[in-house]
Structure 1
Amino acid sequence: MKEEANLFDYVYVLVKWRRLIGVSVLVVSALTAVVSLLLPQEWKSSTTLVPPEEEFDQMGLGMLLNNAMPLNIGGLGGQQPSAERLVTLIKSRRVLGAMVDRFGLVAEYGAAYREQAIDMLDDRVEEELGRDGTLKIEVRGATPEQAAQLANALAQELDAVNREYKQRQARALRAFLETRMTLVRGELEVGGQEMQHFQEAYGLVDLEAQTAAAVEVVKNVVLAQVEQEVKLGVLRQQLAVGHEERWLVETEVDELEKQLKILTGDVETSTDSTVTALHRQALGPPLQALPELGFQYTKLGLDLKVKEEIIRFLGTKLEEAKYKEALNTPTLQVLDEAVPPKFRSAPRRALMVLVGAACSLVLSVVLAFALESFGQAGDRHQQQLKAIRGLLRRDQ
């Protein structure tokens, strides 16, 4: 019964103060509607862009660029995703400033100066990077046509700036490659001169062929020496010491031994020897020096081959960089072009009126219960005052 009485009390209060509640809701709703009509209208239009695939990363220059290129252009290797770079560019003052100048937004926004208009346009531009790499640009304008034109113009300006950015990248890369090509060509020329001096100093032309020829000559000299030593051994048993034939064979054996030492490098060479001249011109250095000289010769030849491969590689990439620098095609693909919206984005008048009516209803109900509570408290106070006065009169 108590709960039922409380419920009737609540209904009684609402019915008693129904005019206050109704008038409050109507007045607030009307004021909200008037305010929503006075607020400037905004229209939102969007365009979706597909960023280009990074192409410099395919050039195989990542490590080279990061270690050697100046001006922090190592990003040419594609380290920064294209879509993230576009998000940075779209908020740049260059892109937004171009829109302010093109559409005369300083006067339209009532801005005091150009930078303020750029900030106001920045507040009206929203970008969203999709998981698939697409970039969605939303722009709010005073009219449907302006919103669509701003979105499309923003996409065009973004493409122009991104195209210029890529051309600057290619220009910097080309300059770096040209400098590197000049440096490597100089190193190749110095290496070629070192190889030439090395060959002239040691008589090297074809190390493999000269080594094979030297081994063959040594083999023949050893065979001839063995043959003459056998012959000399026989003659020593048959002829006296001063015999002419024995002396001739002994001389041949001594000369063969001398030439063998020259070929193997055991003694210094003689400029009067025919074998020595043949050795220097055709056979190259002595056999004992071949391992060390062969190592140095191979090292010099390997350095030359490496530099030649570097020049070939840099030449290919230089042509690619020149192509990229001269390329002037759109870098962004428009997936969805912005069109004038059919419904405004702000102000949302129906929502504003509903929210205002709901808030005024809650506040007026609270006010009604507060007034009822104060009224009941006043009645009790008056009854208590009458009782006090009656008691005082009775005492008199």
Structure 2
Amino acid sequence: MEEEISLVDLIKVLRKRRTYIITIFLLAVIGAYLFSRMSPKVYSAKAVILLPSEKGSSISAQLLQSLPITGIVGLPSGVGANYVAILKSRSAAEYVVKRLNLQNAYEAKSLQQAISILQKSVKISDTKENTIEISAEAKDPKLAADISNTYISALKDITSRFMLSSAQRERLFLEKRLKETERALSEAESRLKAFQDKYRLVSISDETKALIENMANLQSQKESTQIELDAVNSQISSLQSILSAQAELLGKDLLTITTISSDPKIQSWREKLIENEANLAILLQDYGELHPKVVELKQQIAEIKRVMKEEIERLSKALGTLSTPELFDLSVKRISLEAKLQGLTGLIERYDEKLSKLPELSLQLSRLMRDVKLQEAIYTTLSTQYEQAKISEARESVEIQVLDYAIPPEKHSKPNTMLNMLIAGVASLFLGIFLAFFLEFWKNLKEELRKDEDS
């Protein structure tokens, strides 16, 4: 019959083998301490980003939610998911590696190896408090902080490339045109001054001055119309690219601008628009915005646009093509702007013809003064539109709100000496107790075998 083992027996075994247990415990704790002291110190720095409200009205914020990276498995949908996905992407890691020259810092043999090391040392997570935390580890405290903060820069850079909005494209275009116009204005002023110095002509008649002022105003309107037309063409191109893919899936044809422009009724109304836009430009110069003739002509132009839109919708249905109300509106706007541009061009040519009837020297002086006035008017128009584009771009941009930038930590995060000693101590106690019972069991087993042999 087997003897039952009591608690007293267990305690006796532990007391008997306490030397083993204490020795193993001390060796483990001292070993953990020495290991922690000798191991290279690792520092951790954390940056925190505040997520934008998904209910906001920012156009770019809404676009960011619709990016194809939304819906990654394991991540919530929306802006937060996209931010996390971008931060975890290879593109973000490559940006940080190149910006901080981490390939040399990590002594990596290749860029890919450096990226792999970086991604293992960085933890990115979103929290319930609507924030994203970027924690980076490095042997140098400043480098750890730099990595976390550079990830924020990477996020800004990548999202800005995703968010190349129409306002941003317009701002870049206007910025370029503004510089070109500034150079053209400077050259026109230089030519005028050189002519006046050579021929001692500094003034022209009041009638000619009025003619030049009108031409400058018309040229400014033409420049503004051309910029607006370029923007509409860009919007139509983007919309048609989207619709083209849908049309292919549905097996339908796409309503094109060529189809619209070739329609006889559209052509007829386009000619009326050209005439009305030219007349409107003249009336605006003579009477201003509030004159009854101006108001009446604007109403006629609006009515032509309305009828044109209805005709385009009818044409689309008759042909069975794929289209949208946005494309109808943009098509009408494009035709209207083209008509306005053509009307203004014809009007400017008529003014130029009047100018050409002046005496030779007066004609040259008038044209030089006209060039200066034209460039001044264009520069003023472009400056106004450039400022408006900057405001629109700022409204559309997705602002990365940084709650906390990472700072170099004062204390290392790894190795944690106390934690390592605690783990080693607990593990060694279990090992020591197990060894004590095993040795006692082995001793008793040998004694029983010896007794059996003797008997």
| TM-score, normalised with respect to structure 1 | 0.55
One of 394, 404, 412 as aligned partner of 1:336: 404
Q: Deviations over 1:150-185 (max 9, x none)?
A: 111221222122112212776789664153799659
Distance 1:98 1:300 in 2: 51
Q: How many residues were matched structurally? A: 274
State the distance in 2 between where 1:82 and 1:310 align.
30
Q: Does 1:39 align with 2:39?
A: yes
The structure-2 alpha-carbon separation of the partners of 1:382 and 1:105, relative to structure 1 and needing over 3 Å to count, comes to same
8 Å CA contact 1:48–1:336 kept in 2: the answer is: yes
Secondary structure of the 2:164 match is helix
- Counterparts of 1:159-174 in structure 2 under 5 Å? 159-167=156-164
Matches within 5 A, 1:280-299: none
Are the structure 2 counterparts of residues 101 and 369 from structure 1 closer, same or farther at C-alpha, using a change threshold of 3 Å? same
Q: Which residue of 1 aligns with 2:140?
A: 143
Separation (CA, whole Å) in 2 of partners of 1:104 and 1:301: 57
Counterpart-to-counterpart distance in 2, 1:51 and 1:102: 24
Unaligned runs of 5+ residues in structure 1 are 66-72, 198-297, 388-396
The TM-score normalised by the length of structure 2 is: 0.49
Instruction: Choose from 311, 329, 337 the match for 1:303.
Output: 311
C-alpha distance in 1 between matches for 2:55 and 2:5: 80
Q: Does the Cα contact within 8 Å between 2:168 and 2:393 map onto a contact in 1?
A: no
Aligned ranges 1:1-396 → 2 under 5 Å:
6-52=6-52, 75=67, 81-131=78-128, 133-167=130-164, 176-179=234-237, 184=257, 187=260, 190=263, 191-193=265-267, 302-303=310-311, 309-311=329-331, 331-387=399-455
> Over alpha carbons, which structure has the higher Rg?
1
- % same residue: 21
**CA displacement at 1:375 relative to structure 2:** 1.4
Counterpart CA distance in 1 for 2:164 and 2:55 is: 13
Q: Aligned in 2, Cα 1:137/1:365: closer, same or farther, shift over 3 Å?
A: same
**CA-to-partner distance for each residue in 1:300-353, whole Å, 9 max, x for gaps?**
78326988844577899xx99966996697831212121223333222221111
User: Quick one: structure 1 residues 376 and 137, their matched pair in 2 at CA, closer, same or farther if it must change by over 3 Å?
Assistant: same
Distance 1:329 1:377, change over 3 A: closer
- Pairwise CA RMSD: 4.7
Separation (CA, whole Å) in 2 of partners of 1:153 and 1:177: 34
SS at match of 1:110: coil
SS for the counterpart of 1:331 is coil
Q: Partner letter of residue 413 of structure 2?
A: S
User: How far apart are 1:47 and its partner, in Å?
Assistant: 1.4
Q: CA deviation at 1:196?
A: 9.3
Contact 1:42 1:141 in 2 (8 A): yes
Asked if the contact 2:44–2:413 (Cα under 8 Å) also holds between the matched residues in 1, the reply is yes
| Unaligned runs of at least 5 residues, structure 2 | 72-76, 171-230, 241-255, 272-305, 314-324, 338-385
1:206-251 C-alpha deviation (Å, 9 max, x unpaired): xxxxxxxxxxxxxxxxxxxxxxxxxxxxxxxxxxxxxxxxxxxxxx
Distance in 2 (CA, whole Å) between partners of 1:56 and 1:378 is 79
Sort the Cα spacing of 1:51 and 1:185 in 2 relative to 1 into closer, same or farther, 3 A.
farther
- Output the CA distance in 1 between the equivalents of 2:239 and 2:98: 44
Q: CA separation of 1:125/1:301 partners in 2, compared to 1, >3 Å: closer, same or farther? A: closer
